[in-house]
Amino acid sequence: MIPASYFFILSLILFVLGIIAFFLKKDLITQFMAVEIMLNAANLAFLALGKSSGFLDAQVIVFFIMTVAAAEAAIGLAIILLIFRQKKSIKTEDLRSMKG
Amino acid sequence: MMNFLFFFLAIICAGSVLAMIATKNQAYNALFLVLAFACLGGLFGMLGAPFMAVVQIIIYAGAIMILFIFVIMMINLGQGLSPEKKKWTIIFSVFLVLVLFAEIAFAAKSAFSSFKSPGAGSATSPTDLGRHLFTKYLYPFEITSILIIAALVGAIVLVKRREKE
């Protein structure tokens, strides 16, 4: 069997890559995808913990995280579409004014 | 065998996230993310959570990333591929269809012959998971259903074009 620590290391790598992607990318959609990567890294860590401890609760929590991520994606993409309609751009450097 | 599978999936997963960071095209970013999430689904299956693996592939790599791709296509309407590249897409898509056909045929064959549980024997069954979800976590479950409804209605109201403007 593969030790759980391998999965934790992979989860750590994915989380850090998500953070890097979030800060390197300059458009809202890709930054949003970076957030999804971080959520998935957390899911992987939860499932590895659930496997090593034997509790079923980890899978339930992952289920909830996925539901919340789906809701978040729907709302976030709607907001991005609104921003695109108003500013004609989703680059972060074009979004400088607070007022719509 | 399990070790090899783990490293294979882990390297593809991390590599496709790296490729996502490196490429500029948003549509390619989304497709790399689909690949990464599919590999994560495989890893979930190795962790003894077959239901979560299937949910990961259907919900994440399927539904959520399709949402992203829809929005990307609504936002940047670039020109299509050049004819030279189009030929390659046809070749690749035919290849992928053949792979998918072989996969489904293999699955159907093994389903008809005799049912064998894939993977490690310690996998938790969806029955246990469902029982857990509807007893101990009943209230959080109901609250997430309200959350989903609120998100759906909110998204529709946000994007709807108003008559006055």
Q: Give contacts of B37 with chain A, Cβ < 8 Å.
A: 40
* Residue A70 covered by a domain: yes
Which chain A residue has its CA at the smallest distance from B13's CA?
Answer: A14
Domain presence at residue A98: no
What are the pLDDT digits (tens) for B44-101?
988 888 899 999 999 988 889 998 998 888 887 666 667 777 788 899 999 999 999 9
B154 in a structural domain: yes
The alpha-carbon gap from A98 to the nearest alpha carbon of chain B, in Å, equals: 18
Domain of residue B50 covers 1-78
A91 phi/psi in degrees, rounded to 5: -75, 140
Chain B segment 63-102 residues within 8 A of A by beta carbon are 63-64, 67-68, 71-72, 74-75
**Cα radius of gyration rounded to whole Å, chain B:** 20
Give the residue-averaged pLDDT of B113-117.
60
Looking at the structure, tell me whether residues B93 and B37 fall in a common domain: no
List, for chain A, all residue ranges whose pLDDT scores fall below the cut of 50: none
Residue B120 covered by a domain: no
Q: Which residue segment(s) compose the domain that A42 sits in?
A: 4-91
> Span B134-139, mean pLDDT?
92
Amino acid at B41: G
- Output the CA angle B64-B65-B66, nearest 5 degrees: 90
Q: What is the pLDDT of residues A63-83, one digit of tens each?
A: 999 999 999 999 999 999 888
In sequence order, what are the residues at sequence separation of 6 or more whose Cβ sits closer than 8 angstroms to the Cβ of residue A49? Answer: A4, A58
Q: How many domains does chain A have?
A: 1
If asked whether residues B63 and B23 sit together in one domain, one would say yes
ipTM of the shown complex: 0.89
Q: Which of residues B63, B78, B93 is at a domain's end?
A: B78
CA distance A20 to chain B (A): 8
* Interchain pair A72, B151: CB under 8 A: yes
Specify whether B152 is located in the same domain as B87.
no
CB atoms A30 and B26 under 8 Å:
yes
Average pLDDT of B4-24?
92
B116 within domain boundaries:
no
The 10 Å Cβ neighbour count of residue A76 is 22
Q: What is the three-class DSSP state of A88?
A: coil
